Amino acid sequence: MRPHSSPVTRRGRLWWIVGAALVALNVVAFLPGLGGDFVWDDDLLLLDHPNYRRPELILSSLRSLFIISPSYFRPLGYFSFFLDYAVFGPRPLWYHLENLVLHCAATLLVLRFLALLKCSPLVAFAAAAVFAVHPSRVEGVVFISSRFDLLAMTCMLCALLLHRRALVGASWRLRWAAAVVYGLALASKEMAVTMPALAWYADRYLWPDVAGGSAATTRRLRSIRGYAPYAVALFAYLALRASVLGSLVVSRDLAIPLSSSLDHVILVGKTIFGYLRFTVLPFFPNPVHYTDALSPADVEAWLGFAAVLLAVWAWLTGYLRGGFRDGVVLFLLLLIPVANIVPIRLAGPSYMAERFLYAPLLGVVLGLRNLPWHRRGLRGAFLVVLMLWGAITHHASANWVDDRALFTWVARRAPQSALGFTNLALEETRGGFPGHAVALSESALVRDRANPDAWDNLGVAYYQLGRLAEAESCFVQALRLAPGHPLFSANLAGTWRTMDRCPEALNLLGEVIARDGTAASAHLNIGLCYLRMGQPDDAVPALQRAATLTEIDTTTWMTLAQALTLAGREDEALEAVRTALGQGLAKPRAGDHMAAWGREALHQRRIGDAVKLLRVAGVMLPEDATIANDLGVSLRSAGLLAAAESSFSKAVALAPDLALAWANLGEVYGLDGKEDAADSVLLQTLVRWPDLADAYRHLGRLRLSQGRHDSARTLFAEYLRRAPGGVFAAEAQAILRE
């Protein structure tokens, strides 16, 4: 007979099933976001910022101010992105998957936490499912730049579980291990600072009876001395933070103006109420929670403080007990670091962000365990709510697939905020619709005149429209609001470069480089200035630095190839082109870039530059007849007739129907004294293309050289009839008057 499974074995299997169900729930809820691109700050952090891509810059990134705010110090997050790029490159799918894996890990740790509190598997599943698919999770999981919240929460939960394990095993070694993991949580995000307070509360109320093998060691672990390892970890973090940032807190002007201490108090109360409201009624997930001004008459702020006072009163008087008491206390403790008590720089102006609820929701989870789950009606209602929240999360995740979808959603969900309009303007500019970008940027500035990004985007749109004076004014205004910003400085310098004010542009860019040597846009603009000034040898070092820093920007690599070509370093230029091709640039597009630069040089009568650029373009696209023809024109203008003849012959061979190449070949034969060949080619050209004006001119010049003036006049007259406003019309008229 087959032996029956023991109750312990069956219960263990049930826990495994519950864990697998939670993972499956997470995958279904966040599936739409997995195929998304880099969005919002992801571009700034992962694509524009070089420190995640260059091994020699990873240490400097830990010593430099965080790219988003000077008050952030998050080296573990930095390092995770560095490893991602080293393994996966700039492919967003893997970054999204890692975020989802971290969220699943945090969910399973919450499940383990509930199991240690003697919850049944089904009750633990219900509570952990709220942690998993609450709509506030959308921003935290799908937004790659929220990696810091995921890492911090995962490390905090590991530290708490190790803290408890140290009690069970009466082990100082495990307590120090918990302190190390606590340090990793701090290195992920500052909000982990409250973990020792959570550990103290858990010792006192969640597992007061847990004891190890040695009673004396257990007592010491529960005493103040037992928390010393956390103090050491916190001190080490603060010392490292102060050495990097220069002080513990680096404040800038708030986007929300605080004119008094009362304003600060109101902001804290409004933030608390906002998080409470979204926790209870998460039906409208939205990455922008906006306020443009603060007032003592703000009811939400005072309701926030009233809710806190009510919770404290209920706790002191005993109205809150068990799981409800634990949930309220832990929720408020975890909310402290994100309630704007410390006045660091905000963005937008947003006073809260949904991803900041990632840790506080643990309190809600603990409170749910005390609900009367034995009541069928409650279980049914909870199932409906959970399904509704999961559907909201699934639907909202689909809005994070790209910047256009995200900020269209933001503009619709928060029309009073400038953020959606500002970023949609940038998308329109990138898409080649600067007129639309102007309208959207102006809409953003109506909502927030002090938004430097909106001014910069407006300047970029004006620049694309050729309205350089207006673009300059916008970039100057952006720099007034954000002094020293490298991108705004580079944009202003680019405008000055286009206005032929290269010395001013170089001075400004030099100041940017002095502050931040990794500002790739500044190096790029320095190179472009030197190219405009006709100094390719000086442009090459700046463009090499820009290409090295950006690495994945194919435009920068092609600009470097242009400079190397003009400097006579064609082999290096082709290597730069190969790098651009390796980064995803199509070979025909790369060749077209080089050919376009060559044609521009030819149009400007920079014949030597045109020859160099078109030669490289011909190497890249050897089957392109038009490039061979344009190279022949450049070589002919340089007096290199044999080389020009070879190039025109190649063009004719590649494209027998390219009439202009036939005419040019006939002309160069004549210039080289090969009159019979010239006569034959030009007559064939006129037979096949009788409307080609240049062929009449070339044959007319050949007849003049042969002394057949009457025939030449007839041919030049025919040229004028077919091209009365042609480039060589004056020459033809002069010959006819002779």
**Residue 43: CA count within 13 A, CB half-sphere:** 9
| Domain assignment of residue 601, yes or no | no
Q: How far apart are CA 553 and CA 165, in angstroms?
A: 49
Q: How far apart are CA 136 and CA 397, in angstroms?
A: 11
DSSP secondary structure letter of residue 690:
T
pLDDT for 50 equals 64
Q: How many CB atoms lie within 10 A of CB 692?
A: 20
Is residue 130 a contact partner of residue 114, using CB atoms and an 8 Å limit? Answer: no
Of 371, 393, 415, the residue that ends a domain is: 393
Q: Tokens 């971290």 map to which residue?
A: 102
pLDDT for 1 equals 43
Those residues with Cβ within 8 angstroms of residue 382's Cβ, 6 or more apart along the chain or in another chain = 126, 371
Retrieve residue 252's tokens.
Answer: 């800038």
Give the rounded percent of residues in the chain with a pLDDT score beyond 70.
Answer: 92
Q: How far apart are CA 195 and CA 229, in angstroms?
A: 12
Retrieve residue 432's tokens.
Answer: 């080649």
pLDDT for 58 equals 62
Give how many domains the chain has, as a whole number. Answer: 2
Q: Which amino acid is at 449?
A: R
Q: Per residue in 701-721, is it b (16+ CB within 10 Å) or e — as a string?
A: bbbbeeeeeeebbbbbbbbbe
**Residue 684: CA count within 13 A, CB half-sphere:** 19
| Domain assignment of residue 168, yes or no | yes
**pLDDT over 90 (residue 25):** yes
Retrieve residue 478's tokens.
Answer: 């952006």
| Radius of gyration of the chain measured on its C-alpha atoms | 35
Which of these ranges, 212-216, 297-301, 469-473, 539-543, has the smallest mean pLDDT?
Answer: 212-216
Q: How many CB atoms lie within 10 A of CB 168?
A: 15
**pLDDT over 60 (residue 2):** no
- The distance from CA 319 to its chain's CA centroid, rounded to whole angstroms, is 48
Give residue-wise pLDDT tens across range 475-528: 999 999 888 888 899 899 999 999 999 999 999 999 888 877 777 888 999 999
pLDDT for 294 equals 82
For residue 349, cis peptide bond before it (omega within 30 degrees of 0): yes
| Crossing angle (nearest 10°) for helices 261-280 and 322-335 | 130
**pLDDT over 60 (residue 680):** yes
Q: How far apart are CA 507 and CA 509, in angstroms?
A: 6
Is residue 662 a contact partner of residue 684, using CB atoms and an 8 Å limit? Answer: yes
Give residue-wise pLDDT tens across range 261-290: 888 899 999 999 999 999 998 888 888 887
Is residue 464 a contact partner of residue 428, using CB atoms and an 8 Å limit? Answer: no
Which of these ranges, 55-64, 447-456, 543-552, 669-678, has the smallest mean pLDDT?
Answer: 55-64
pLDDT for 451 equals 86
Domain boundaries, position 268: 7-247+260-393
| Domain assignment of residue 23, yes or no | yes
Q: Is the dihedral of CA 270, 271, 277, 282 positive or negative?
A: positive
Q: How far apart are CA 338 and CA 333, in angstroms?
A: 10
| Domain assignment of residue 350, yes or no | yes
Q: Is the dihedral of CA 32, 36, 38, 40 positive or negative?
A: negative
pLDDT for 318 equals 83
Q: How far apart are CA 335 and CA 329, in angstroms?
A: 10
Which of these ranges, 62-71, 192-201, 262-271, 309-318, has the smallest mean pLDDT?
Answer: 62-71
pLDDT for 174 equals 93
Q: How far apart are CA 632 and CA 642, in angstroms?
A: 10
**pLDDT over 90 (residue 738):** no
| Domain assignment of residue 471, yes or no | no
For residue 536, cis peptide bond before it (omega within 30 degrees of 0): no
| Domain assignment of residue 723, yes or no | yes
| Domain assignment of residue 617, yes or no | no
| Domain assignment of residue 11, yes or no | yes
pLDDT for 175 equals 93
Q: For residues 694 and 179, which has the higher predicted lDDT (pLDDT)?
A: 179
Is residue 565 a contact partner of residue 616, using CB atoms and an 8 Å limit? Answer: yes
Those residues with Cβ within 8 angstroms of residue 468's Cβ, 6 or more apart along the chain or in another chain = 462, 495, 498, 499
Mean pLDDT of the chain: 87
Which of these ranges, 16-30, 36-50, 602-616, 620-634, has the smallest mean pLDDT?
Answer: 36-50
pLDDT band at 244, cuts 50/70/90?
A: confident
pLDDT band at 548, cuts 50/70/90?
A: confident
Select the highest-mean-pLDDT range: 8-22, 659-673, 703-717. Answer: 659-673
Give residue-wise pLDDT tens across range 573-582: 889 888 888 8
CATH (domain of 670):
1.25.40.10
Model confidence, pTM: 0.81
Give residue-wise pLDDT tens across range 398-427: 999 999 999 999 888 888 888 899 999 999
* Three-class secondary structure of residue 350 per DSSP: strand
Q: How far apart are CA 523 and CA 549, in angstroms?
A: 9
pLDDT band at 547, cuts 50/70/90?
A: confident
Of 393, 420, 435, the residue that ends a domain is: 393
Retrieve residue 195's tokens.
Answer: 């973990």
pLDDT for 539 equals 93
DSSP string for residues in 123-191: HHHHHHHHHHH-TTHHHHHHSGGGHHHHHHHHHHHHHHHHHHHHHHHT-HHHHHHHHHHHHHHHHH-GG
Of 374, 393, 412, the residue that ends a domain is: 393
Q: Is the dihedral of CA 266, 269, 273, 274 positive or negative?
A: positive
pLDDT for 471 equals 95
pLDDT band at 171, cuts 50/70/90?
A: confident
pLDDT for 346 equals 55
Q: Per residue in 639-667, is it b (16+ CB within 10 Å) or e — as a string?
A: ebbebbbbbbbbbbebbeebbbbbbbbbb
pLDDT for 251 equals 57
Q: Which amino acid is at 147?
A: R
Give residue-wise pLDDT tens across range 310-332: 999 998 888 888 888 889 999 99
pLDDT for 651 equals 92
pLDDT band at 105, cuts 50/70/90?
A: very high
